[in-house]
Structure 1
């Protein structure tokens, strides 16, 4: 009998998502890298906050980063 194969973590996903203490997946918001002059201060301030992943995306990301849970 051979060894059981380990799953590989998707490295790009591991850098983009993190798991909170309660097990929720959090990601950074988009639209914060360029063209910032035309965006209001309030909008840029809200883009700093992390966002909790919702819906069907959670199962997809769990497959990509299996050892973070």
Structure 2
């Protein structure tokens, strides 16, 4: 059997923690920070845990 390839788009967007949780970045953290409040900008800068409904599919794309 040939090796499975990791999905290039998924590996740029998600990471798996040591305990197996899938982390992702939040939306709205690229530009236009003058329009966003400081508290909102700080909040969206943090990574969050991906929804449990999507974890199985994402892990398959990451080859796990």
Query: In structure 2, what is the equivalent of residue 44 of structure 1?
Result: 41
Q: CA deviation at 1:64?
A: 0.5
Compare CA radii of gyration and give the structure with the larger one.
1
TM-score of the superposed pair, with normalisation by structure 2: 0.90
Q: How many residue pairs are counted as aligned between the two chains?
A: 64
After TM superposition, the score normalised by the length of structure 1 is: 0.84
Measured after TM superposition, the shift of residue 23 of structure 1 is 0.5
What is the match of residue 32 of structure 1? 29
Instruction: Report the RMSD for the aligned CA atoms in angstroms.
Output: 1.1
Secondary structure of the residue that 2:23 maps to in structure 1?
strand
Shift of 1:55: 2.5
Per-residue deviation, 1:60: 1.2
Unaligned runs of 5+ in 1: none
| Aligned-pair CA distance for 1:27 | 0.6
Question: Does structure 1 residue 60 correspond to structure 2 residue 57?
Answer: yes
Distance (whole Å) between structure 1 residues aligned to residue 3 and residue 15 of structure 2: 21
Which blocks of at least 5 consecutive residues in structure 2 are unaligned?
none
